Structure 1
Amino acid sequence: MSLLEVVGVSKQFPGVRALDDVSFTLNAGEVHALVGENGAGKSTLIKVLTGVYRPDGGEVRYQGEAVSFNGPLDAQAAGISTIYQEVNLVPLMSVARNLFLGREPRNAIGLVDVARMNREATDVLSGYGITSDVRRPLGLMPLGAQQMVALARAVMVDAKVVVMDEPTSSLEPREVETLFGVIHRLHERGVGIIYVSHRLDELYRICDRVTILRDGKLVHAGKLEGLQRVELVSHMLGRPVDAGRSFTSFAGEHEAAAAAPVLKATDLSSRHRLNGVSFEVRPGEVVGLGGLLGAGRSETIKAVAGALPLDSGAVEVDGRPLRRPSPVSALRAGIAVQPEDRKAEGIALGLSVRENIALAILPRLATAGVVSERKIDEIVDTFMQRLRIKASSPHQRVGDLSGGNQQKVLLARLLATGPKVLLLDEPTRGIDVGAKAEVQALIDELASEGLGVVLVSSDAEELIEGSDRVVVLRDGAVVGMLRGEEVTTEQLMNVIAVAAS
């Protein structure tokens, strides 16, 4: 008997059929890959399984019985836990509070036993490689560590089914190995795992079976062993794989024009975060920021964009210094930023595609205080077509789009500002193979048009193949620079290893 089963489920949204007669089966002790392009229906299926959405047709069966959960808490109480790509915890609460939220240990008179909670949290998290003070607010921890806290919380509730949605998107290699160890232990306990990831290496390493969705329909289900990667990608995309371009790498190198730097960062220093970071970016050049989690990559992006207060240092755009660095002055100077966490710091989920794209350029489109609706429509249509944004219309709510299309909407807004420099922090994090290739191709195209690009990626291969030069960081300081033939994964690892020794 299967542990969890979906039978002929359909789900309709305005203008979009998100699921169309989809069936899915999870067995006890199985790691089951759920894959497909963004917009294929993966997130909708998970939300149907966990009670966020009610299906329009079909049914969900859990341990042999038809169920209809009233929400994620109801599903969790039944033994189905979900770890989302975006950490779904409370950043202002302590790490321990988040871990025990809703089930805090209590003393004899019914009050929360804080000492016991902190002690048990420390013991639990040590098994996940987390040695931070559990009394600190969760939001002060790196995203990878927050993800591990979310994982620990999901596993602690004695779940029979664990849904992992892009669980390694914010993790470093060491943390990934810890995660895989946890998955192995869950497998031995008979827990069923639904594993959503765009990283094919992970799928083939840990998953037993695979279900592939495309445009809301089931297109393949079966054992992963024996299914060639080219076949898997072909099922996902609905077309033969383009032999002329890899779906996991950039198309080629960029030749930056022999011109003055479009961006120059000098001695960027911020207490406990950055220590004298300096680098340049020329028109048509992609400069990667490499290093392990916590090396200072995102902090460097924020410093250049005026979002991180500096103790010293300077930023110049086209030879002109940012006198009073701030996000507004940086934007006006031609610096556009795609943040690491698109939902918390980027897009406005409650607004439409049209409103999100136009958000940063409304002042430019106004005459005597009146915004031209025609100009907005022209710009929005242009970028929706150029980035191939899948939406029922420009007026569809961004929160209803897939993760990859949300990312494209954010990129469209940035490009609409006409930037000189594009700062990209994990631009392909959590998006599928097809959408990833499109974003990578777009970065190629933008650089070839003379835009300066700074790229941060936790995927070393993506960083290496997509960059002309790589600035290697550790503990907020530059520890190396890779150029030309030096730009290889092996050289990057060597620089990091030497710096850490």
Structure 2
Amino acid sequence: MSIHSPPALACRDVTVRYGDVTALSDVSVAFEPGLIHAVVGQNGAGKTTFARVASGLVQPTNGAVEIAGQVIRTGHVRESRAAGVELVHQSFALPPSFTVAEAMEFGAPGRGRLYSRKGLAEKWRAHLAGLDIQVDFSKRIRDLPVETQQSIEIARALITDARVLILDEPTAVLSPVGIEMLFARVRRLKQRGVTVILILHKIREVLGIADTITVLRGGRRVEGPVLAADISADHLATLIVGDAVKGHKPGDRDALVGNGGAHADVPSGHQRYASLAPALVLSAVSTVPDSEGAPLDKVSLSIRPGEIVGIAGVEGNGQKTLVRAIADLAGLSAGTIALGGEDITRKSLAARRAAGLRIIPFERNIEGLSLTSSLWENWSARELLQGPLLRLVNPARIRALCDGSLKKWGVHYHTSSQRAGSLSGGNAQKVILAREIDDDAKLIIAAQPTRGLDIGATAFVWESLRAARDKGAAILLISSDLDELFDISDRVVVMLSGRVAGAFAAPYDIQSVGAAMTGAGAAATGTQR
């Protein structure tokens, strides 16, 4: 490639504003062709907005985008695709009910043609084989492993012979083994001359794959593109986080940016509560299959007071069903559940909350909060569920209690009557923490509690869970982020296809945990308790 070749993709003075919020501010960056480029930064740094501008999904307030030296109209996906730019989203976009063959045909250039399913399979077989993707074309997308789903998404993006491929947080839902498979595929694309831009935030991953690195912070470019060989992990961590984690534990900083810490033993408080009954005991629990996720298959699990147990696994392997079973939202076909020594197998969610169950749900804006309701109405669920259902409610008293709780938790808000949807992600999560973490909590289920939060809010959530643990609560932490699990969990349990595939204690070995996540080898023989 000539050194005089124009950049594969360049953004000039790009600014994106949403009302009073500036997502990108005067970002100028150029990516040389035929390389693997990483765009890194914490949540809220502007990475996804940048990817959407570059791929034509977002019309910037100001600025220009060039592809191979040619200025293109911004905010026009078809024009960007015609110029050779494709984006693979973090949330997969192919219809889950389609077969592989149908998904490949979906949206492909040219319309009005008739194909049989066999004909579609033959049409796309060579394309997938050229990308080293071996798959049953009759399988439906939803029935494929997540790594294979992602490979199909990438293959679909390359139908138009894309010259620039942007992958937005492609490692977020993958096991360590899956990440290595993805990176091998990315390197092969580079060999074919494709320019790959990876949106990432884990330093370990960035330094393992990228030729150049560009750092965004607060919507601005603070570094890059710089050669990956010319930057150290510690300096990169400083560029990403800035002053965001001053005063926090050194191990937290490494976990926040995926800097590959040693994962030393985690101080646990459960020894102080050794005389108490286990906070949670699941005994050979199986659930009735439904449409909400993989059913549980003879899952046995116990958590002691003063202990954080992390649940690892590729998403879709029973984690959501586990939470639903504990919350009386999934039908049990076998087994029992005990909370604080009391059998709650046949008790309602309200009764389980009265016994000390608290839940920080997977989706804070869907399951955790009513965005169109006021803060005090959202917070009042705590009061209403922990007393007699038929009783007089004093709104003024609840608003006063809500104000006291929100201020204690450091929520930034104007009035408890404002809608929950007006809060930032971090403050919205603090509202849920204020509602769910109290002195009566015996078991706190924290399901993806930091997803989408910036570094400061993430560190706050971790400290809040540790504080609850130290007061004697048991914490069940479900996360797809192994760095998070390794940093704050006393033990890590791996789920695979609705079963417990391994249990590990600190110091953790990422390869052993990763092997358990994919069912490779004797994964459960690692350090266990």
TM bucket (normalised to shorter chain) is 0.7 to 0.9
Count residues in correspondence: 487
Task: Describe the SS at the equivalent of 2:475.
Answer: strand
**Contact 1:118–1:135 (CA<8 Å) still a contact in 2?**
no
Spell out the pairing of 1:81-160 with structure 2 (5 A cutoff).
Answer: 81-103=86-108, 110-119=113-122, 131=135, 134-136=138-140, 138-160=141-163
The whole-number CA distance in structure 2 between the counterparts of 1:231 and 1:394 is 41
1:266 corresponds in structure 2 to: 283
- The answer to whether structure 1 residue 236 and structure 2 residue 240 are counterparts is yes
User: Could you tell me which of 198, 202, 206 is aligned with 2:205?
Assistant: 202
1:312 corresponds in structure 2 to: 334
Deviation at 1:40, TM superposition (A): 1.7
User: Could you tell me which of 298, 310, 317 is aligned with 1:276?
Assistant: 298
1:248 corresponds in structure 2 to: 254
1:385 corresponds in structure 2 to: 410
1:423-468 deviation line (CA, Å, top 9, x unaligned): 2344455666665544433332332233211123445454344222
1:215-241 deviation line (CA, Å, top 9, x unaligned): 222211132222112211212222397
**Contact 1:357–1:410 (CA<8 Å) still a contact in 2?**
no
The whole-number CA distance in structure 2 between the counterparts of 1:119 and 1:379 is 65
The whole-number CA distance in structure 1 between the counterparts of 2:52 and 2:373 is 21
Deviation at 1:198, TM superposition (A): 1.7
**Contact 1:379–1:416 (CA<8 Å) still a contact in 2?**
no
1:9 corresponds in structure 2 to: 14
- The answer to whether structure 1 residue 226 and structure 2 residue 250 are counterparts is no
More displaced 10-residue stretch of structure 1: 165-174 or 119-128: 119-128
TM-score, with length taken from structure 1: 0.81
- The answer to whether structure 1 residue 186 and structure 2 residue 189 are counterparts is yes
2:44 corresponds in structure 1 to: 39
More displaced 10-residue stretch of structure 1: 410-419 or 377-386: 377-386
2:435 corresponds in structure 1 to: 416
**Contact 2:513–2:523 (CA<8 Å) still a contact in 1?**
no
1:452 corresponds in structure 2 to: 474
2:490 corresponds in structure 1 to: 468
Gap runs ≥5 in structure 1? none
**Contact 1:37–1:435 (CA<8 Å) still a contact in 2?**
no
Deviation at 1:285, TM superposition (A): 0.8
The whole-number CA distance in structure 2 between the counterparts of 1:169 and 1:214 is 20
TM-score, with length taken from structure 2: 0.77
**Cα 1:153–1:4, aligned 2, differ >3 Å: closer, same or farther?**
same
Task: Describe the SS at the equivalent of 1:48.
Answer: helix
2:259 corresponds in structure 1 to: none
Deviation at 1:312, TM superposition (A): 0.7
**Contact 1:40–1:215 (CA<8 Å) still a contact in 2?**
yes
More displaced 10-residue stretch of structure 1: 224-233 or 473-482: 473-482
1:14-64 deviation line (CA, Å, top 9, x unaligned): 222222211121221122111122222222222222333222222122222
Spell out the pairing of 1:329-348 with structure 2 (5 A cutoff).
Answer: 333-338=355-360, 346=367
**Cα 1:342–1:163, aligned 2, differ >3 Å: closer, same or farther?**
farther
**Contact 2:165–2:196 (CA<8 Å) still a contact in 1?**
yes
User: Could you tell me which of 492, 498, 501 is aligned with 2:522?
Assistant: 498
The whole-number CA distance in structure 2 between the counterparts of 1:20 and 1:9 is 7
Q: Aligned partner of 1:194: which letter?
A: I
- The answer to whether structure 1 residue 303 and structure 2 residue 309 are counterparts is no
Deviation at 1:170, TM superposition (A): 0.8
Q: Aligned partner of 1:314: which letter?
A: T
More displaced 10-residue stretch of structure 1: 61-70 or 414-423: 414-423
**Larger RCO: Structure 1 or Structure 2 (Cα < 8 Å, ≥ 6 residues apart)?**
1
- The answer to whether structure 1 residue 164 and structure 2 residue 167 are counterparts is yes
**Cα 1:240–1:397, aligned 2, differ >3 Å: closer, same or farther?**
closer
Q: Once the two structures are aligned, what percentage of the paired residues are identical?
A: 28
Q: Aligned partner of 2:161: which letter?
A: D
**Contact 2:327–2:349 (CA<8 Å) still a contact in 1?**
yes
The whole-number CA distance in structure 2 between the counterparts of 1:102 and 1:326 is 46
**Cα 1:171–1:478, aligned 2, differ >3 Å: closer, same or farther?**
closer
**Cα 1:15–1:244, aligned 2, differ >3 Å: closer, same or farther?**
same
Task: Describe the SS at the equivalent of 1:254.
Answer: coil
Spell out the pairing of 1:75-86 with structure 2 (5 A cutoff).
Answer: 75-86=80-91
Task: Describe the SS at the equivalent of 1:156.
Answer: coil
More displaced 10-residue stretch of structure 1: 17-26 or 453-462: 453-462
1:336-376 deviation line (CA, Å, top 9, x unaligned): 44555667x64679758959964855846998567558448
More displaced 10-residue stretch of structure 1: 119-128 or 234-243: 119-128
**Cα 1:208–1:482, aligned 2, differ >3 Å: closer, same or farther?**
closer
**Contact 2:501–2:524 (CA<8 Å) still a contact in 1?**
no
Gap runs ≥5 in structure 2? 1-5, 256-262
Deviation at 1:76, TM superposition (A): 3.0
User: Could you tell me which of 43, 50, 55 is aligned with 2:55?
Assistant: 50
Quick check: which has more Rg, 1 or 2? 2
